[in-house]
């Protein structure tokens, strides 16, 4: 073929990009395209941190393409119309994409595929977003897994494709680029009516590579031991980069394999490291295996969204569909959102989110269970607030995590598992270092009181920090009574 279109979506990189690699091998000229889709960028759950990260990554991608003599064509509008219009304008013979598994993405791609077929254009989809496609990680009878452990066992056994080479892209003629048209790439989220108030992770493939380099060098071989301590900067910070594809899961997987000596990663069951192995090697496998388990969780939730798209709007568990969460007091939701609940670990986590667009994974579970099982608020309220504030807000992972915490989802935490914020704080932030960092009112409170300053009312009053917004023990008992009947019907 002479000219083809590569439509960027969640693959904002040149290196290890399967569809782009295939396009470059099949055609003389590849026209790179991104469509700013207002349906996504101005949706009720669109957030300034995520949009800003996207635009930052697009600017980085555009600069990288210019270095090859190419140019990123940017359109804004209905992606079905815009993609087909660019394809016709440049005389493309085919459209190359990396597959999307979310409900809207699948409908959009089906419409583009149909339009392309009507226009005599080929449409080539490639598996790039995940290591193992949802339809390739199912039970022997072809039905999908709804429990993580057997899914993970099958996922680990599937051979993972290695990274693909960086494509060689030829310079595009000026006349062809003029025919492609396009709009200027906006500089910030304000172009979509959003105001950025947090200090977010920089976007782009170069930043993703820096993050991966630092994580593999400093943390992956101690990941299992340190990942739950929010005061430590011991996690990968790759979630936003995986969300937008500024790095591929294949690259991450391969680098971790290299870090443990290239052993077969099917061995990396974090609960049962392969034997016989020497002690240090066993520990390395366990540490790295726990990180790879997080990649597996990401793909489990992508598979759940693919096979059960109704989870995007309602509970996975039938017994919880139509369940009316009892708390309707907006003051409690506001206190939770703003980090003013009087429970220090919850407030520190929510303030971290507001100021950085990111939250430590352990604390995502703590604050989600607090909203749903202590404050008794519908999980969808918290799910939307997270999407509005998270740089890495991803429908599959965010929904999966919230439904797990609320006990409404697939492979959910049992309804009686309710994280106690005080015990979680004492276990994972024993000296209160994380709390003091994000709740300055408590900076001078001694470690013995930093997680429960309300034990000393006079001290609490002097700090300006609020008292607990609810009685935890009373709310826990109420949650158990409310959730038990629904859980039995699930």
Pairing outcome for strands 3-7 and 94-98? parallel
Residues 473 and 411 in one domain: yes
Residues 303 and 327 in one domain: no
| Nearest alpha-carbon partner for 359 in 372, 348, 369 | 348
User: Distance between CA atoms of 471 and 318, rounded to whole angstroms?
Assistant: 30
Residues 219 and 298 in one domain: yes
pLDDT in the model for residue 58: 98
Rounded to an integer, what is the distance from CA 407 to the centroid of its chain? 20
Separation of first and last alpha carbons in the chain: 53
Question: Do 315 and 409 contact (CB within 8 A), yes or no?
Answer: yes
Please write the tens of the pLDDT for every residue from 274-291: 444 456 677 778 888 899
**pLDDT of 436 above 60:** yes
Residues 111 and 33 in one domain: yes
Task: Identify the weakest region by mean pLDDT among 88-102, 113-127, 310-324.
Answer: 310-324
Residues 259 and 325 in one domain: no
Residues 259 and 146 in one domain: yes
Is position 112 within any domain? Answer: yes
Mean pLDDT computed over every residue of the chain? 93
Maximum alpha-carbon separation in the chain: 77
Is position 446 within any domain? Answer: yes
Is position 13 within any domain? Answer: yes
- Joined tokens for residue 50: 């995520």
Task: Tell me whether the omega of the peptide bond preceding residue 276 falls within 30 degrees of 0, making it cis.
Answer: yes
**Predicted confidence band of residue 490 (pLDDT cuts 50, 70, 90):** low
| Nearest alpha-carbon partner for 237 in 217, 207, 264, 258 | 207
Is position 177 within any domain? Answer: no
User: Distance between CA atoms of 274 and 278, rounded to whole angstroms?
Assistant: 10
pLDDT in the model for residue 485: 84
User: Distance between CA atoms of 85 and 373, rounded to whole angstroms?
Assistant: 49
User: Distance between CA atoms of 113 and 83, rounded to whole angstroms?
Assistant: 10
Is position 193 within any domain? Answer: no
Q: Choose the final residue of a domain: 307, 342, 360.
A: 307
Residues 210 and 359 in one domain: no
| Nearest alpha-carbon partner for 83 in 11, 14, 179, 75 | 75
User: Distance between CA atoms of 210 and 225, rounded to whole angstroms?
Assistant: 23
Give residue 451's domain range. Answer: 318-489
Radius of gyration from C-alpha coordinates of the chain? 24
- Joined tokens for residue 471: 């009685």
Residues 138 and 285 in one domain: yes
CATH number at residue 227: 1.25.40.80
Q: Choose the final residue of a domain: 128, 152, 172.
A: 128
Question: Do 245 and 129 contact (CB within 8 A), yes or no?
Answer: yes
Q: Choose the final residue of a domain: 307, 337, 363.
A: 307
- Joined tokens for residue 244: 């937008």
Find the DSSP H helices in 27-173: 38-41, 48-66, 79-90, 103-118, 148-157
User: Distance between CA atoms of 374 and 327, rounded to whole angstroms?
Assistant: 10
pLDDT in the model for residue 276: 43
Residues 119 and 138 in one domain: no
Beta bridge partners, 156, equal: none
Cβ neighbourhood burial of 121 (10 Å; 0-12, 13-18, 19+): buried
Question: Do 287 and 224 contact (CB within 8 A), yes or no?
Answer: yes
Please write the tens of the pLDDT for every residue from 335-367: 999 999 999 999 999 999 999 999 999 999 999
User: Distance between CA atoms of 269 and 465, rounded to whole angstroms?
Assistant: 44
Please write the tens of the pLDDT for every residue from 130-145: 999 999 999 999 999 9
Is position 388 within any domain? Answer: yes
Residues 240 and 357 in one domain: no
Please write the tens of the pLDDT for every residue from 193-221: 999 988 899 999 999 999 999 999 999 99
Please write the tens of the pLDDT for every residue from 30-71: 999 999 999 999 999 999 999 999 999 999 999 999 999 899
User: Distance between CA atoms of 298 and 291, rounded to whole angstroms?
Assistant: 11
Residues 284 and 141 in one domain: yes
Number of domains in the chain: 3
For the segment 218-225, the average pLDDT, to the nearest whole number, is: 94
Local structure of 144: helix, strand or coil: coil
The CA–CA distances, whole Å, from 7 to 55, 73, 94 equal 16, 10, 11
**pLDDT of 261 above 90:** no
pLDDT in the model for residue 263: 56
Question: Do 298 and 148 contact (CB within 8 A), yes or no?
Answer: no
């Amino acid at each position: 073929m002479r000219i083809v279109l590569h439509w960027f979506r969640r693959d904002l990189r040149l290196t290890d990009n399967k569809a782009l690699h295939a396009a470059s091998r099949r055609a003389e000229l590849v026209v790179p395209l991104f469509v700013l889709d207002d349906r996504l960028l101005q949706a009720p759950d669109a957030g300034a941190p995520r949009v800003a990260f996207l635009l930052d990554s697009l600017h980085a991608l555009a600069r990288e393409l210019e270095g090859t003599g190419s140019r990123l064509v940017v359109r804004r509008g209905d992606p079905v119309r815009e993609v087909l219009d660019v394809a016709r304008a440049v005389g493309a013979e085919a459209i190359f994409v990396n597959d999307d598994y979310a409900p809207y993405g699948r409908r959009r791609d089906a419409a583009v595929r149909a339009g392309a077929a009507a226009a005599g254009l080929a449409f080539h989809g490639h598996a790039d977003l995940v290591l193992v496609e949802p339809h390739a990680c199912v039970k022997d009878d072809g039905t999908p897994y709804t429990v993580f452990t057997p899914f993970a066992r099958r996922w680990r056994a599937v051979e993972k494709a290695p990274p693909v080479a960086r494509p060689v892209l030829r310079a595009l003629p000026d006349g062809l680029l003029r025919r492609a048209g396009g709009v200027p790439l906006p500089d910030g989220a304000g172009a979509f009516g959003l105001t950025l108030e947090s200090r977010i992770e920089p976007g782009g493939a170069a930043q993703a590579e820096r993050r991966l380099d630092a994580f593999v060098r400093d943390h992956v071989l101690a990941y299992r031991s340190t990942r739950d301590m929010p005061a430590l900067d011991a996690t990968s910070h790759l979630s936003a980069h995986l969300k937008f594809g500024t790095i591929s899961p294949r690259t991450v997987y391969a680098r971790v394999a290299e870090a443990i000596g290239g052993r077969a990663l099917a061995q990396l069951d974090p609960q049962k490291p392969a034997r016989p192995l020497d002690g240090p090697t066993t520990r390395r496998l366990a540490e790295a295996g726990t990180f790879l388990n997080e990649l597996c969780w990401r793909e489990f939730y992508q598979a759940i969204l693919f096979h059960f798209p109704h989870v995007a709007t309602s509970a996975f568990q039938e017994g919880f569909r139509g369940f009316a969460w009892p708390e309707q007091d907006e003051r409690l939701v506001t206190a939770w959102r703003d980090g003013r609940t009087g429970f220090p670990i919850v407030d520190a986590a929510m303030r971290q989110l507001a100021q950085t667009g990111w939250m430590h994974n352990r604390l995502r579970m703590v604050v989600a269970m607090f909203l749903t099982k202590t404050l008794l608020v519908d999980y969808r309220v918290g799910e939307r607030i997270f999407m509005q504030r998270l740089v890495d807000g991803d429908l599959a992972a965010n929904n999966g995590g919230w439904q797990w915490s609320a006990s409404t989802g697939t492979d959910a935490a049992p309804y009686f598992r309710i994280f106690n914020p005080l015990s979680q704080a004492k276990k994972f932030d024993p000296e209160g270092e994380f709390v003091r960092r994000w709740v300055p009112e408590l900076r001078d409170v001694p470690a013995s009181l930093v997680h429960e300053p309300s034990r000393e009312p006079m001290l609490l009053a002097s700090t300006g920090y609020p008292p607990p917004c609810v009685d935890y023990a009373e709310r826990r008992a109420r949650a158990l009574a409310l959730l038990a009947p629904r859980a039995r019907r699930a």
